[in-house]
Structure 1
Amino acid sequence: MEWAQVPDAAAFRAFRQRCQDGSWQQDRGGLAVSLQLPPPGCAIHQLKCRIDVPDVPAATMYDVLHDSEYRWEWDTNVIDTHGIAQVAVNADVGYYAWRCPKPLKNRDVVMLRAWQVEDGYHTIINFSVKHPKYPPRKDMVRAVCLLTGYLVHSTGPNSCSLTYLAQVDPKGSLPKWVVNKASQYLVPQMLKKLHKACVQYPAWKQQHNVNMKPWLYPEQNKLPVLALSELALQRAASLENIDESSLAEEKDESSDRGALEN
């Protein structure tokens, strides 16, 4: 069993490097996408998406990514999201469940999330962990997040760029249309909605616990403290494999709903 650890400075540097490395396969309208498909017999793929945001400061983007209360306002994929426990001043454990494109089963994940602000970069890193009180649910497929996160880079006093990186095992044999839809439409669409949410966030926050930002002020964090020894890394091998590779895409009127990644 591999025990969970809070990412150190080297891990944050490595994540930043991974976000910045490599060529972008699609780049249009200030939004770029890079997809690395897995080799045969492997379910793990890596997706990167970057968006340039000319009218939102990096600090606001960072606040929106953290604010779980506000996520209910803009994330149409969310089924459930909440914090479970804090494990460090810059790390916590949380639960997230989301809708997948029909007819796939919905997914959920328990993740350790860590964050850092340094040198004009705001970074959030997530990876899957096992929590004793959050076993896999019968009505969900427990996905495995090897590494996901956000890199927000300030490009001016009121502008920034956001890179989203996901290295995920969705735990199951998926049809090709799912991966294609996620990379070409769902994730880029999510980032566009996130941009719009960021523009609206300052006005919303004025009416909702305006000074409550535990990701900036650790003393505000009211989650119970959990020892890292209670958490182990979640690996795909310990979970039931779900074969959905033969499922055909269903027409969904709310076509922007349901994403492969979280």
Structure 2
Amino acid sequence: MGELFQESEFTDAFQELDEPHVDGWEFFTESHGLKIYRKLNQTSGLYQYKVYGTLTEIDAETCSQVYMDLDYRKTWDSYVYELYEKEVSGKKLIYWSVKFPKPMSYRDYVYKRELRTFEKDGKDVYVILAQSIQDKENFSEKWMTIRVEDYHQTVAFTNDPSGGVQVFMQYYDDPKGMIPTWLVNWASKTAVPAFLDQMKSSCQKYPDYLKTKNK
């Protein structure tokens, strides 16, 4: 399978764990021990976000497994309407349909995703990159669903010396449609830390899920 991302994209991500790159970014808020920065996209009027912090009582390897396990995500993410992986020209791509509150239309995504593991200072670092692509031939657009064409997410996990998991996340999503930019920005403020809270809870429950699945 050909490379989905460049090596430099992964190394840039895990370096953020120890050396946050926030020049040109605005400190936005702090939630549950996570510091959130934002930067305005002048074209869309929407913000992209960077998140730094530590999630306690879980480990980095489990976080990476939970993030990559699409079947498990269907059990804990109530916004998932449809989610699956499909191989196209030797590369695995993901289709993700998301429930939006009525009267808004659902959104769907087609994106590439890759996990790589690095060793840094004797610790494993797990870096996951995801980025939308355009492929209407293999993933046809659906009625009453808006295709999101500008989405990217970077996540890096490593075990924190004091316990728990050190996390870096960068996120941007343009849901398009008639949603006011202020509403999207307001929703993102709560959605980003809420997602990491969900991740923590799901990581804690993952061993039990695997036991049930493998019975």
TM-score range, shorter chain: 0.7 to 0.9
1:173 and 1:43 mapped to 2: Cα distance? 13
The answer as to 2:168 corresponding to 1:163 is yes
Q: 3-state DSSP class of the match of 1:207?
A: helix
Aligned partner (choices 104, 122, 127) of residue 126 of structure 2: 122
Going from structure 1 to structure 2, the CA distance change for 1:156 and 1:103 (only over 3 Å counts) comes to: farther
Are 2:84 and 1:82 equivalent residues in the alignment?
A: yes
Would you say 1:202 and 2:210 are equivalent positions? Answer: no
Aligned match for 1:37, one of 32, 40, 63: 40
Cα pair 1:95 1:111 within 8 Å, conserved: yes
Percent identity reads: 20
Is 1:177 the equivalent of 2:180? Answer: no
Preserved CA contact (<8 Å) 2:50 2:168: yes
Work out whether residues 57 and 163 of structure 2, in 8 Å CA contact, stay in contact via their aligned partners in 1.
Answer: yes
Counterparts of 1:177-256 in structure 2, within 5 Å, are 177-183=183-189, 185-209=190-214
- Which residue matches 1:27? 30
Any gaps of 5 or more consecutive residues in structure 2? none
- What is the Cα-based RMSD across aligned positions, in Å? 2.5
Q: Which residue of 1 aligns with 2:64?
A: 62
How many Å separate the matches in 1 of 2:75 and 2:100?
A: 19
Evaluate the alpha carbon distance shift between residue 153 and residue 199 of structure 1 in structure 2; reply closer, same or farther with a 3 A threshold.
same
Give 2:58's aligned amino acid.
Answer: V
Distance in 2, Cα, partners of 1:147 & 1:65? 15
| Cα distance, 1:5 vs structure 2 | 5.7
- Structure-2 change in CA distance of 1:18 and 1:144 (3 Å): farther
* AA in 1 matched with 2:117: V
Secondary structure of 1:25's counterpart equals: strand
* Residues 137-169 of structure 1 deviation map (CA, whole Å, 9 limit, x = unaligned): 222110023421211122149521223321222
Paired position in structure 2 for 1:247 = none
DSSP 3-state at the match of 2:213: coil
> Residue 56 of structure 1: CA displacement?
0.6
Aligned-partner Cα distance in 2 for 1:32–1:99: 28
Structure number with higher relative contact order (C-alpha < 8 Å, ≥ 6 residues apart): 1
Q: Which amino acid aligns with 2:78?
A: T
Instruction: Identify unmatched segments of 5+ residues in structure 1.
Output: 211-262
Query: What TM-score do you get using the length of structure 2 for normalisation?
Result: 0.82
In 1, distance between residues paired with 2:192 and 2:102? 16
Moved more, 162-171 or 19-28: 19-28
On the 8 A contact 2:29/2:36 being kept in 1, the answer is: yes
Alpha-carbon contact 1:51-1:191 (below 8 Å) kept: no
Residue in 1 that maps onto 2:6: 8
